[in-house]
Amino acid sequence: MKIQLRINGRTKESDVEPRKLLAYYLREDLGLTGTHIGCDTTNCGACTVLLDGKAVKSCTVLAVQADGCDVMTVEGLEGEDGLHPLQTAFWEEHGLQCGYCTPGVLMSGYALLQSNPQPSEAEIRSGISGNVCRCTGYVNIVKAIRSASAKLAGAADDTPSESAKEVAASGKKSD
Amino acid sequence: MFPNSFEYMAPTTLAEAVELMQRHEYDAKVLSGGQSLLPMMKLRMAAPPILIDINSIDELRGWKEESGFLRIGALTRHSELENAVELRDRYPLLAETAVWIADPLVRNRGTIGGSLAHADPASDWGAAMLALHARVEGIGSGGERQIPMDDFFVDTFTTALEETEIATAVLVPKPAGRTAGRYLKIERKAGDFAIAGLAIHVVLASDGTVAEAGFGICACGPVPLRGKRAEEYLLGKKLTPETIDDVSRMVPEDADPEDDLRGSAAYKRDVLRVFAERGLSDIAKELQGEGVVG
Amino acid sequence: MAKSQTELRPLGKSVGRKEDPRFIRGMGRYIDDIVLPGMLYMSLVRSPYAHARIKHVDPSAALEAPGVKLVITGEDLAAMDLAWMPTMAGDKQMVLATGKVLYQYQEVAAVIAESREQAEDAAQLVDVEYEPLPAVVDPIQSLDPDAPVLREDREKKSNHIFHWEAGDKEATEELFRNAPVVVKQNVRFPRVHPSPLEPCGCVADYQSSTGKLTWYVTSQAPHAHRTVLSMVSGLPEHQIRVISPDVGGGFGNKVPVYPGYVCAIVASLKLGRPVKWIESRTENISSTGFARDYHMTAEIAAEEDGRVLALRVKTIADHGAFDAAADPSKFPAGLFSIVTGSYDFKESFVEVDGAYTNKAPGGIAYRCSFRVTEAAYLIERVMDVLARRVGVDPAELRKRDFIRKEQFPYQSPTGWTYDSGDYEKTLDLALEKIGYEELRKEQAEKRARGELMGIGISTFTEVVGAGPSHTFDIMGIKMFDSAQIRLHPTGKVLARLGVRHQGQGHETTFAQIIAEELGLSTEDVLIEEGDTDTAPYGLGTYASRSTPTAGGAAALCGRRIRDKAKKIASHLLEAGEDDVVWDGVSFSAKGLPDKSVTMKDIAFAAYTNVPEGMEPGLEATYYYDPPNLTFPHGAYIAVVDIDKGTGAVKVRRFLAVDDCGNVINPMIVDGQVHGGLTEGFAIAFMQDIPFDEDGNCLAPNWMDYLVPTALDTPHWETDRTVTPSPHHPIGAKGVGESPNVGSPAAFVNAVVDALAPLGVEHIDMPIFPWKVWEVLREHGVNK
């Protein structure tokens, strides 16, 4: 089936089998391998993307269902100015270890901050409860999302830390 | 893991969908939110030859109050009801229940119509809609019809909808007074199906007596169940500690749980009793104010 | 907040991780991200029965399905002498079943096709006829002489795998005979699974033109895998290149070689094309290495004041259908004899018997140094039973029985030499920080009101860092590890190690160690692991061994570089070598501190201006064989409240005070502790893999094998004391596993403490709400 959709701001047209899951379409047809697969039963959230602005599990949506939709993946977080503050915060606060859940958690965190820019710890924990992390115990993920929230609100310390500067310096897009 | 191959159809009108269901009968399966169906297809526990995706049918979206009911379109996502501020006063049980369904990602995709039509014994919406004495509206070859919740769940994963019928909406009666609702659920972990769940709906008359009472039970039987004994007993009474104690003992009598990995039948029954007691006490405080009780 | 990577003297600082930029961009390269030209996909046919004879396997329908290139059956492998493969535990394991299947989900055939979908579709078409046999599920019944013999391939006609013991039986019995107090407790450690978020998988790429096999595999031990593969397949070892790309978590699950790996390699050899096999979550849980499943009985002999005398332990270990335990070869029960823990037992006698059952093979070390979790849980649990029996507060009892700091190095009754520790200091810090006395007061008040609140302590000792080569080997290969450091002319460093990280942060922590030794910054050092063609040989990352072994190698390799650098410095400074001093960032001549040369100057000189007669270049390799293991310890305290109505347990607070010796990167250490506590929490409260009487696995995916979310997980508090390891080159001990080893007992002890007024002495994990409710009901609390 022919589908047309916008992925990270760019229009893509593809011909896909109806049974192809959105996650596999992103990974295999488009080479966007930041979206990961961690389970068969819609439990882990490693495949989280934004579908028309809503965070969903892309392993439980057919690619044909995304026809005409706007999809944002982890690869779409980084802007012309470098890393998104949420990405920087995950780096600074050690919000990741093996990195496999990270893209999904970032997308859930991004969606959460879109709808609730100043979430409490409880709201963050609830907001990312569709994403399983086996490494971090969530403490630093929560910290990172709070830090990103503060950054985005401009409430962060005006003088960026050394590591934040490094992040900014290395955060330029290479393409 | 991938589903078996299937033919995919995405009608944009209800009429078109009904026509497709007619044509393909048993081969066709409706795809709504897909949060239960697609995992079952991936595990190859379900392998429908044809999927009829109703997500493009705008007439199935949204809600409005009409002729004594709140009519909630079948395609309404759980998260929409979780966040519908305008429904909180009159239909508090909707948001109370929605927030307990799976996780935020599933709630962004899953729909109320799909959830009810799936007829899982642990359906959170099943319990809530039983408590609200709702009806499911379906459409098929014989046109539209309304099915009272009491008749809707036939057996595990089986509803009163014909193979060729599509659930189009849920009709929740407008409350006739001050309303409160609670959904109490215990899980093995966040986002899990319930060990036991209890939805409670109470409307008070102006004299402070119970004008409407609804109890819906999930994960404690082959289908979600209604706590009829408790409802009948509560009508016309005030929410005193004694009444609440009596009612909470009646709720488990309408449950039919089994021993399984989530706990024994005796445990689940007792949790329902505890939930009824806690939920009603909370509702009493909310509707009658602190200190009024007793 | 992370510190800059450009700081000099980075050891001990919370330097931001070097691996993160690719991960936060979604640019990590995990096994399923590897795509090669002409790549085929493999799917496995698995048994629906736990125990059945295979009447026949007919692949013909599958072979005719679209895209199918090959179907491999057990008979095909038998013809190649590959139907069985050795396990690390000295047993053997079927690759594809021949004759009969021994567990549900066992591998029966492999289907290789042009696409994933085609392979999976065709796998459904392989026709296998089974004749079901009665399943043996319970390991205790399995050891009954009348039980059906599961393993017909073995000479020994019973389901008994091994008997292992440690300690002095007679001396222990003697102490028990005369002891004033004896307590006894049966304790089960459930069958759990590491369940890393990324399941297992590989891409096998055999090039017939060169005869070289490149095997991409999500592996914690790529070098060991290469050697095993060479031994099993007969391929020359230099013609095998194992590449372990970014690993999405391991926790012990990615140490063994699995049947799917062998099938993918055979398929690539046969077809001359790359073959990818990525298992599903269901396959991961149902067939790959599980952990624990120990049925233990412990007895403590003690004085009336609770001073311990002797410990006696008997254990039945359920290994499933094949003993695929990932233990050092001489240790069929791993390091379980560390079970005397932090306490000064005079004698101890420990026995373990292994049993076969109709379950998936395993007994791997899940975030644990080979059965140390079972041991720590058992002793910490039973010490609480003793405390209750003699009427002494569990904190006080532990203090009475601790090995004192002046006793180190301490010789344990089962033969271990503990390197260092200060148990009392660690516990005191934990008690003070959590406010133990106030909590006990609060508990007393709550008890008076009928509320259930519990405080649980665990003061565990671990044994990690295998290990000294005189004792530890895997299939004969000694368990040293290695580092190789190369300084480029501009002073930048490429370092490679024999271990393979899976999230532990080696690209940062090992860069810190090397930078510290060389006077450079973390930014100057690039760490590479996981490619057997480039990295020096090592046994891999598990059992908290990376820092104790490869970390030691990295430090000593850096010092080896510095030795040569000193000679070059002497040449550059025109001073005698004995007059050259190192201040941590540069060399200078004694008395002339103004004139100095840094490692960057020296690196440049090593390629441009070496003293006459000296070999140019600046690189070194170090194989480090540690003199002993390291013994991290900790004091953990859990505070729980129990809902009497539902039996639900809420962990209100949890404090972990760890002592892992000198710390390389505090931020990473805290992160490791957070993660390990979360896994320990899950084990205590929600994880088990149950089977029905027919051997059907009842928790084969994440619907029923439960992994905690952020909503379930408590907020963790951490602190630490520092007792350096006296023998480790930088005094470090390893930390990744302590929280998983030490925490389950703290959780369970807290729940039992809450229920203690009812006379409860023990409750088995996982503590689901219904279990607590049953206990309350039994004691008439919740009528």
Catalytic residue among C198, C516, C517, C737: C737
Task: Collect all residues of chain C within an 8 Å Cβ-Cβ radius of residue A36.
Answer: 30, 32, 197-198, 248
* Nearest-by-Cβ selection for C671 from A129, A140, A170: A140
Q: Where in chain C is the domain with CATH 3.30.365.10?
A: 20-28+481-624, 290-465+628-778
Over residues A51-90, the pLDDT tens digits come to: 999 999 999 999 999 999 999 999 999 999 999 999 999 9
- Is residue B169 located within the same domain as residue B184? no
In chain B, the number of structural domains is: 3
Query: Helix (H, G, I), strand (E, B), or coil: what is residue B244?
Result: helix
Measured distance CA(C447)–CA(B62) in Å, rounded: 51
Tell me if chain C has a CB within 8 Å of the CB of A101: yes
B188 and B165 fall within a common domain: no
Residue C368 known to be catalytic: yes
* Residue in the block written with tokens 């978590």: C249
| Selected catalytic residue, list C200, C263, C368, C557 | C368
CATH number of the domain within which B79 lies: 3.30.465.10
**Average pLDDT of the segment spanning A41-55:** 98
Q: Taking a C-beta distance cutoff of 8 angstroms, is the pair C295, C318 a contact?
A: yes
Residue A167 has pLDDT above 50, yes or no: no
Residue C220 designated active-site: yes
Band (C330; pLDDT cuts 50, 70, 90): confident
- Work out whether strand A2-7 and strand A70-72 pair parallel, antiparallel, or are unpaired: parallel
* Tens of pLDDT, residues A89-104: 999 999 999 999 999 9
- Are C1 and A135 an interchain contact pair (Cβ–Cβ within 8 Å)? no
Specify if B189 maps to a domain: yes
Interface of B with C in 138-157 (CB under 8 A): none
Q: What is the pLDDT of residue A156?
A: 44
**pLDDT at res. B290:** 56
Instruction: Give me the pLDDT at residue C312, please.
Output: 98
- For residue range C180-230, what is the model confidence (pLDDT) as tens digits? 999 999 999 999 999 999 999 999 999 999 999 999 999 999 999 999 999
Chain A neighbors of B39, CB-CB under 8 A: 40-42, 60
Q: What is the pLDDT of residue A172?
A: 37
Question: For C131, phi and psi rounded to 5 degrees?
Answer: -120, 105
Contact residues for C171 (Cβ-Cβ < 8 A; gap 6+)? C310, C346, C347
Which helix (DSSP H) or strand (DSSP E) does residue C189 occupy? strand C181-192
ipTM: 0.97
Count of beta carbons in the 10 Å neighbourhood of residue B13: 12
CA distance C319 to C363: 6
Among C599, C522, C719, C744, smallest CA distance to C7 is for C522
C-alpha dist (Å) from residue A64 to B57, B74, B130: 15, 21, 35
Please say whether the dihedral angle defined by the alpha carbons of residues C592, C594, C599 and C605, taken in this order, is positive or negative.
negative
> So what's the pLDDT on residue C325?
92
Output the CA–CA distances (angstroms, integers) from residue B187 to B100, B218, B278, C353, C768, in the order listed: 10, 12, 17, 37, 10
Could you read off the pLDDT of C442-482 as tens digits, one per residue? 999 999 999 999 999 999 999 999 889 889 988 888 999 99
Res B291 pLDDT > 80: no
Task: Tell me if C668 and A94 make a contact (CB, 8 A cut-off).
Answer: yes
Is C512 a known active-site residue? no
Q: Mind telling me how many Å the CA of A118 is from chain C's nearest CA?
A: 18
Burial class (CB in 10 A: 0-12, 13-18, 19+), C655: buried
Question: Residue C122, Cα to own-chain centre: how many angstroms?
Answer: 36
The CATH number of residue B237's host domain is 3.30.390.50
Q: Taking CB atoms and an 8 Å cutoff, what residues of chain A touch C199?
A: 38
Task: Indicate if the pLDDT at residue A158 is higher than 60.
Answer: no
C102 closest CA partner among C332, C319, C326? C319
Q: For testing the chain C interface, which of A43, A134, A147, A170 should be mutated: the one with the most C CBs within 10 Å?
A: A134
* Side chain identity at residue C382, one-letter code: V
Shared domain for B162 and B191, answered yes or no, is no
The mean pLDDT value for A7-18 works out to 98
| B182 and B280 belong to one structural domain | yes
Assigned token pair, A129: 């409860």
What is the structure's pLDDT at B262?
A: 96
User: Are both B161 and B83 inside the same structural domain?
Assistant: yes
pLDDT the model gives residue C593: 87
Which tokens sit at C39? Answer: 């790549």
pLDDT of residue C1: 84
CATH 3.90.1170.50 positions along chain C are 34-133+198-248+254-287
In this predicted structure, what is the pLDDT of residue A175? Answer: 35
Collapsed DSSP state (helix, strand, coil) of residue B249: helix
Whether B85 contacts chain C with CB within 8 A: no
Q: How many CB atoms lie within 10 A of CB C289?
A: 26
Instruction: Give chain A positions within 8 Å (CB) of C20.
Output: 90-91, 96, 99
Asked, for residue B59, whether it belongs to a domain, the answer is: no
Q: What is the pLDDT of residues B130-171, one digit of tens each?
A: 999 999 999 998 899 999 999 999 999 999 999 999 999 999
Our separate counts of H helices and E strands in chain C read 19, 33
Bridge partners of B203?
B179, B212
Average pLDDT of span C550-559: 98
Residue B2 within a domain: no
Asked if the C-beta of C8 comes within 8 angstroms of chain A's C-beta atoms, the answer is no
Co-location of B104 and B191 in the same domain: no
Please tell me the distance in Å from A10's CA to the nearest CA on chain C.
18
pLDDT in tens, C147-169: 999 999 999 999 999 999 999 99
- Indicate whether B216 belongs to any domain: yes
Please indicate, yes or no, whether residues B88 and B141 belong to a single structural domain of this protein: yes
Where do the domains of chain A lie, and which CATH numbers do they carry? 2-76 (3.10.20.30), 85-169 (1.10.150.120)
Above 90 in pLDDT, residue C416? yes
Q: Looking at the structure, tell me whether residues B141 and B193 fall in a common domain.
A: no
**Closest residue of chain B to C701, computed from CA coordinates:** B43
Which tokens go with C174?
């003697």
User: What does the alpha-carbon distance between residue B196 and residue A70 come to, in Å, rounded to a whole number?
Assistant: 38
Q: List the alpha helices (DSSP H) in chain A.
A: 22-24, 85-92, 102-115, 121-127, 139-152, 162-170
d(CA C433, CA C658) in angstroms, rounded, equals 13
* CATH number assigned to the domain covering C290-465+628-778: 3.30.365.10
Catalytic residue chosen out of the listed positions C104, C118, C220, C504: C220
User: pLDDT by residue (tens digit) across C561-612?
Assistant: 999 999 999 999 999 999 999 999 999 999 998 899 999 999 999 999 999 9
Q: Do C120 and B2 touch (CB under 8 A)?
A: yes
> What is the percent of chain C with per-residue pLDDT over 90, rounded to a whole number?
96
- Mean pLDDT taken over chain A: 91
In DSSP notation, C625-647 reads --SS-B--EEEEEEEEEE-TTT-
Mean pLDDT of B70-84: 98
| Distance of residue A5 Cα from the nearest chain C Cα, in angstroms | 21
User: Would you state the torsion angle of the CA atoms of residues C266, C269, C271, C277, taken in this order, to the nearest 10 degrees?
Assistant: 50
Instruction: Indicate the pairing of strand C40-46 with strand C275-278.
Output: parallel
Q: Supply the pLDDT for residue A111.
A: 98
Say how many C-beta atoms besides its own lie within 10 A of residue B89's C-beta. Answer: 10
Query: pLDDT tens digits, residue range C507-539?
Result: 999 999 999 999 999 999 999 999 999 999 999
- Whether B155 is in a domain gets the answer yes
- What is the second-level CATH architecture of the domain C20-28+481-624? 2-Layer Sandwich (3.30)
Domain-ending residue, one of B155, B173, B191: B173
B48 found inside a domain: yes
Homologous superfamily of domain range C34-133+198-248+254-287: Aldehyde oxidase/xanthine dehydrogenase, a/b hammerhead (3.90.1170.50)
Instruction: Indicate which CATH number applies to the domain containing B45.
Output: 3.30.43.10
The three-state secondary structure class of C58 is strand
Q: Decide if pLDDT at A155 tops 80.
A: no
* Beta bridge pairs of residue C582: C587
Residue with tokens 């109703």: B54
C104 CB contacts (<8 Å, ≥6 apart)? C46, C47, C48, C49, C50, C286, C358, C695, C696, C697
Our CA angle for C540, C217, C85, nearest 5°, is: 80
A82 touches chain C (CB under 8 A): no
Confidence of residue A170 (pLDDT cuts 50, 70, 90): very low
Chains that touch B (3 or more CB pairs under 8 A): A, C
Chains with 3 or more CB pairs under 8 A to chain A: B, C
Last residue of one domain, picked from the residues B142, B173, B204: B173
- Do B145 and B78 belong to one domain? yes
Whole-angstrom distance, CA of residue C572 vs CA of residue C587: 10
Residue of B nearest to A130 (CA): B103
Percent of chain B clearing pLDDT 90 (strictly above): 96
H helix runs in C718-768, sequence order:
738-755
* Size of the A and C interface in Cβ pairs below 8 Å: 200
Which residue segment(s) compose the domain that B21 sits in? 7-53
Contact, B193 vs B120, CB < 8 A? yes
Residue A11 in contact with partner chain C when CB distance is under 8 A: no
DSSP category for residue A25: I
- Comparing B21 with C475, the larger pLDDT belongs to B21
Measure the CA–CA gap between C534 and C527, rounded to whole angstroms.
12
Whether residue B275 lies inside any domain: the answer is yes
Residue B157, domain member (yes or no) = yes
Region of C514 please: left (phi>0), alpha (psi -120 to 50) or beta: alpha
Residue C587 identity: F
- What is the per-residue pLDDT across C338-396, written as a single tens digit (0 to 9) for each? 999 999 999 999 999 999 999 999 999 999 989 999 999 999 999 999 999 999 999 99
CB contact burial C363-391 (16+ within 10 A = b; e otherwise): bbbbbbbbbbbbbbbbbbbbbbbbbbbbe
DSSP secondary structure letter of residue C550: I
- For chain C, the chains sharing at least 3 beta-carbon pairs closer than 8 angstroms are A, B
> Does the pLDDT of residue C127 top 60, yes or no?
yes
The pLDDT value recorded for residue C474 is 86
Interface contact B43, partner C, CB < 8 A: yes
pLDDT at C327 over 90: no
Chain C 306-345, residues with CB within 8 Å of chain A CB atoms: none
What local confidence, expressed as pLDDT, does residue A174 receive?
35
